[in-house]
Amino acid sequence: MNLIFKFSSIVMVLLNLCCIVFPMQGNAQTKVTINHKVQRFIGDVSTLDRSKFFNLHAKSHDKDVTAFYEEYNIGEGRGFWGPMSESKRKGFTVGSTYPNSTIIDKSTDVKEVNRYVGTEHPRTVFVDEMDVEKAANWAAKYFVDEVDADDRPEFYEPMNEPFVHAHDFYEGKWITEDEIRVKRRMAELFGAIGKKIHDTPSLGKMKVVGYSSAWPSLEINNFAHWEDNMKMFMDVAGDDMDAFATHLYDGVNITGQNNNRSGSNSEAILDLIETYSYKKWGKVKPHAITEYGVITSGFDENYTDLESIQSIKGINHMLFNLLDRENVIDISIPFITDKSTWHLTENNGYQPYGAALFIPTNIGEKEVQGWRYSPKIHFFELWKNVQGKRIQIASDNPDIQSQAFLEDKILFIALNNLDIKTQTVNLDFIESLEEIDYITKKSLRIYNDKQEEMSNEKLDKNITSLELVSGETVVLEYHFTQNIELTSAIAERKYYAPEHITEIKANTQNTFTFNGLVTDQIENVTLHMGIGRKHDKSKKPIILVNNTSVDVPTNWKGSDQAHRDDFFGVIEIPIDANLIKANNTITVSFPDDGGHISSMILEVSNQRDVSLGLEKVQIISPNTSVGSAQRINVDLKYTATTSRDLVAEFWSQSQWLGQFTTTVPAGIGTQTLSIPLGSTPTIGDKYIVKASLRPVGKSWEYNIATDQKNDILAVEEQGYTVNFIIKNNNNELIEGTNVSFNEQTVSTNGNGEATFNNIFAGTYNYSLSHDQYNSYSEDLIVSNENVMVEITLDDKYWIHAGEPKTVTSGDLVTLTASTSDHTNVTYKWFSSADIDIENSENKSMNFVAPNVADNTEILIELEGTINDFIAYDNIIISVLPNNDITSSELITDKTSLLYPNPVEDIININLKDDTEIVFMTSSGKEVKTVSLTKGDQAVNVADLQKGFYFLSVSNNDITTLHKIIKK
């Protein structure tokens, strides 16, 4: 029986009451529950993609950095250079003039990219009232013609943290109207660049992200900060953004409180962005967390290892948050840089950059003598080995973050303590563990006033609990003696209420709707409530789920945020799965006025078959554009573990326009689905193509695997070329085949080709005919590219000589022909070998395998005439030497004393002396002996079987061998 655990609201309420009413002595107790047999999915994602999380904030080919990438399995993260920096380097005026922007390379072949974020400083990109279209044209030109794949980033972020620099682009004091105007123009620049890159087919692998918000304090001034910044950017540029870039930082002051985004605050920021994205586009556009970490203060002016390590605590805190969103994360980059040699200047006292991973061994000197790792290396040491499929894990304390992954024989369990107190964590495995080889524990403890403690040790195999001090991160590795087999799966899916930023009024219900939920086999339900309120306001509202009250916990991830002017965070509320329906209404009412509910998200976990992770669907085409036609063809590749419905859908930016469904068998395959549309797509508009794999007969709520292509440009439908190449079974090109296609008939030329031009996308039937070959007919789907069709035609008239044989010298070999037509056939068997073929013009022939000294191959050829058509075939007969027969002489010539030969019944023998004759088979077995007197003698051999025989004739101590064939 598969056990998938869930936590009821009753348990959570009791736990909270215990903590409130009965304060515990000593360390707080936390239970982390693990089911290592149950695979966990976040949306459709289970396997950890390290390239989304483990990156260096650098783009460096330095040998030390390159060695670091390889040793720690880390990717390049971010580099500061791009088209605007290059334009400035060439002497052009920033934001005004650019090099010639006419693209030279007109190829539509999609160019390769390098997985990193390319960005630029606002001062090299922007000026007030600039022409954003000119800038966008140059950006596209630069990425097509000016750089190779190494410098063509997968993610282009046109400016880094532009809005905090808005005041740099107008004169005088801070003016609200100017701030709004400049920020909007910045957003328009992002949008223009995004659109131009997306409209350039060869840049189809590039993504444009923005706006890299530096201080996403969205709740400020009753969410005016949200309205004026991120929401404005999403409204102005969002259609042309592939992901939304946000920077998340904790602020640490050694003499004061932490100013943390870790925990509930960062959750609330990302939840609001996702909610608005889903409301606006019907999907969550991904996040690009192009920086995150910790800003330190209160330490010595010069570099210290103690200050350096502080950032890793916040990075680990936020990493756990991001890992729970992998399905909506494109990339995340902890703010850890390479050597940052630009900072090693006289003005900086030759001190290392605080975010640097590599530190000079002789800090404070002009000439660097060598390099060492800063303590930041512990982050990469801690996570170096972690990989695999997600495994079900949960903590009953929101301050203890948890992740689990399984890779073959190794189970990784990662734990992190957000609390200011030490926590004792009890590990509860739902199912018995297989035989353990050994367990290791990596631990990183970071302190404000003393150096960190990084340890790597082996644990007792029977370990059931461990202590985590405040801010500690632990990675456990369970090494088993054999691979672990997953037996079930659980899939987490988030449903976003369209209602958001709703004002809180005392004792007034705010209503949130969640429709279209999948309700099969629900295991866990959690309501993520984001709120922004003053600290003296209640955080424990009355919540009704479909008119049933649920309790709201008084604990959440991370701190109480008392250091902030407002509380802005997410409170996670467990809900009884029995309360959930397909369509739901949730009401929230607080006892006091003030603040807003920023977002409401229902996270529902449904039990799934373990095959969920094995099944996939991928859109092969279209990639960037479709012809404006009544049907849209979508090429799909799929992997199914059983019979499934394969579905292709066509959407506008906000509306479903059509779909096509076909049922596919288990296995790996490709299909072209032709979607009928009510009207042709508008040329110049952008559309969305979606693909899904689902149980037969089920709707989209039951999707097992999905894929999606965005920003597909509708273009004027163009004709394509369809080229047929026709061959026969001998791989010879056939001339004169009539190919009927699209109401035309064309005969193949001497190269076996027939070409049809100006063919539009659609499904067609074609047929092939030729006097000498069987007819052929099949459907052909023309998608969005030229098509080449190679067909092999079977001969209409054929003749077959049989299968290859291996025989021994002296064997009687019989071959029988087969043909496509048993009437009106003439046969002719022949060979260049020295053999006598009997019945050479019959359907069946025979011959005696010749005497050979070594293994010999004989080619037998057959010519057949069928209805005036001549067909050919041949066969190889392998003849082995017959070592069982010994003789002093073998007489095989036609002037032999024996006649007739071949013989049916009577053979005549002319003898000079009285002689004894022995008849032997080809293997040397004696079958007949006769004694004869000299002269002409007749011997009856009717009693012998058909075949080849040797006659041993002995006279005067001389023995000769003669060969006969008995018919």
Q: State whether residue 480 is helix, strand or coil.
A: strand
User: Which residues are CB-contacts of 521 (< 8 A; sequence separation ≥ 6)?
Assistant: 606, 607, 608
- Marked catalytic residue, from 120, 157, 161, 472: 161
- At 332-384, the pLDDT tens digits run 999 999 999 999 999 999 999 999 999 999 999 999 999 999 999 999 999 99
pLDDT at 324 over 80: yes
Decide: 36 and 408 in contact? Cβ < 8 Å: no
Work out the average pLDDT over 607-611: 76
Cβ 427 vs Cβ 467: under 8 Å: no
Q: Tell me the CA distances in angstroms from 297 to 100, 258, 306, one per residue in order.
A: 46, 10, 12
385 in Cβ contact with 442 (< 8 Å): no
CB-based contacts of 817-823 (< 8 A; 24+ apart in sequence): 817/843, 817/844, 817/862, 817/864, 817/873, 819/864, 819/866, 819/871, 820/795, 820/796, 820/866, 821/797, 821/866, 821/867
Per-residue pLDDT at 612:
61
Instruction: Tell me: pLDDT of 32 over 90.
Output: yes
pLDDT at 853: 83
Each residue's pLDDT tens digit, 514-524: 999 989 899 99
Of 656, 595, 577, 644, give the one whose Cα is nearest residue 617. Answer: 644
pLDDT band at 5 (very low <50, low <70, confident <90, very high): very low
Examine the pLDDT at 886 and tell me if it is beyond 50.
Answer: no
Please check the confidence at residue 950 and state whether its pLDDT lies above 60.
yes
The whole-chain average pLDDT of the chain stands at 90
pLDDT given for residue 11 in this prediction: 35
pLDDT score of 748: 95
| R_g over Cα of the chain | 41
- Specify the CATH number of the domain 890-966: 2.60.40.3080
896 pLDDT band (50/70/90 cuts)?
low
Q: Is residue 567's pLDDT more than 60?
A: yes
CA distance 187 to 193: 10
Percentage of residues of the chain with pLDDT beyond 70: 93
Is the confidence at residue 259, as pLDDT, over 80? no
Q: How confident is the model at residue 21 (pLDDT cuts 50, 70, 90)?
A: very low
Q: For position 2, what pLDDT does the model report?
A: 38
Q: How far apart are CA 674 and CA 763, in angstroms?
A: 8
| pLDDT at residue 947 greater than cutoff 80 | no
What class is the 728-789 domain?
mainly beta
Where are the domains positioned within the chain?
A: 9-31+390-486, 50-383, 614-715, 728-789, 799-880, 890-966
Residue 252 is predicted with a pLDDT of 53
What pLDDT does 9 receive? 35
Residue 331 confidence (pLDDT): 98
Share of the chain above pLDDT 90, in %: 67
pLDDT of 584 higher than 90: yes
Burial degree of 275 (CB within 10 A; 0-12, 13-18, 19+): buried
203 burial type by CB count under 10 A (0-12 exposed, 13-18 middle, 19+ buried): buried
Residues 588, 549 contacting (CB under 8 angstroms): no
Phi first, then psi, for residue 19 (nearest 5°) are: -65, -30
Residue 411: predicted pLDDT: 98
The region of weakest confidence among 344-353, 381-390, 471-480, 632-641 is: 632-641
Under CATH, what is the fold of the domain 614-715? Immunoglobulin-like (2.60.40)
pLDDT at 922: 63
The per-residue pLDDT for 289 is: 98
| Separation between Cα atoms, residue 460 and residue 272, nearest integer Å | 44
Over residues 297-322, the mean pLDDT reads 94
How confident is residue 822, by pLDDT bands cut at 50, 70 and 90?
low
The pLDDT assigned to 23 comes to 36
Query: What region does 894 belong to: left with phi over 0, alpha with psi -120 to 50, or beta?
Result: alpha
Contact assessment for residue 311 and residue 294, using Cβ atoms and an 8 Å cutoff: yes
Domain at 799-880: CATH code: 2.60.40.10
The angle subtended at Cα 886 by Cα 882 and Cα 891, nearest 5°, is 90
pLDDT grade, residue 901 (50/70/90)?
confident
C-alpha span between 130 and 134 (Å, rounded): 9
Enter the tokens of residue 228.
């004026």
Q: Please say whether the beta carbons of 169 and 184 come within 8 A.
A: no
Distance CA(615)–CA(326), nearest Å, equals: 18
The contacts of residue 637 (CB under 8 Å, 6+ apart) are 616, 617, 618, 620, 668, 669, 670
Q: Is 387 a residue whose pLDDT tops 50?
A: yes
Does position 149 have pLDDT exceeding 80, yes or no?
Answer: yes
Q: What is the pLDDT of residue 903?
A: 84
Residue 291 falls in the annotated catalytic set: yes
Say what the pLDDT of residue 751 is: 93
How confident is the model over 222-240, as pLDDT tens digits?
999 999 999 999 999 999 9
CB 783 within 8 A of CB 754: no
For the chain, what's the residue count?
967
> What pLDDT score does 13 carry?
34
Superfamily per CATH, domain 50-383: Glycosidases (3.20.20.80)
Tell me if 333 sits within 8 A of 290, measured CB to CB: yes
Q: What is the pLDDT of residue 7?
A: 37
Q: Which of 120, 154, 291, 615 is catalytic?
A: 291
Mean pLDDT of 671-686: 92
Q: Which of 52-66, 548-562, 809-823 has the least mean pLDDT?
A: 809-823
Q: What is the pLDDT of residues 108-128, one digit of tens each?
A: 889 999 999 999 999 999 999
Q: Does residue 472 carry a catalytic annotation? A: no
In this predicted model, what pLDDT tens digit does every residue of 695-746 receive, in sequence order?
899 888 788 889 999 989 998 887 889 999 999 988 899 999 999 998 899 9
Q: Tell me the mean pLDDT in the region 276-291.
A: 96
Name the 3-class secondary structure at 77.
Answer: coil
The verdict on domain 9-31+390-486 having CATH code 2.60.40.1180 is yes
Q: Between these two residues, 513 and 704, which has the higher pLDDT value? A: 513
Q: Report CA-CA distances (Å) from 339 to 79, 370, 901.
A: 13, 11, 97
Q: Which amino acid is at 842?
A: N
Instruction: Decide if 50-383 and 614-715 have a common fold.
Output: no
Tell me, what DSSP letter sits at residue 377?
Answer: H
Segment 852-884, tens digit of pLDDT: 888 999 999 999 888 777 888 899 999 998 765
Q: Is the confidence at residue 672, as pLDDT, over 60? A: yes
